[in-house]
Amino acid sequence: MEPIRLMPFAKLSGVAQMAADEALLATAADAGIASVRFYTWAEPTLSLGYFQPAGVRDTLPPLPWVRRSTGGAALVHDRELTYAVALPPGRAWQPAGESWLCRVHHWIQEVLADLGAAAEPVVCGRERKLGDVLCFEHQTAGDLVSGGAKVAGSAQRKLRGALLQHGSVLLHRSGSAPTLPGLFELTGRDIPPEELAARLTAKFATAFAVTPGDWTADEVELREMLAGEKYGSPAWNEKR
Q: Could you give the residue numbers annotated as active site?
A: 135
User: Which residue type occupies 240?
Assistant: R
What is the C-alpha to C-alpha distance for residues 154 and 144, in angstroms, rounded to an integer? 10
Cα gap 38→165, rounded to integer Å: 12
CA atoms of 14 and 227, how far apart (whole Å): 9
Q: Are 75 and 134 in contact (CB under 8 A)?
A: yes
Q: C-alpha angle with apex 177: 112 to 117, nearest 5 degrees?
A: 15
Measured over the CA atoms of residue 29, residue 33, residue 38 and residue 43, the dihedral's sign is: negative
**Residue 102 to residue 142: CA distance in whole angstroms:** 6
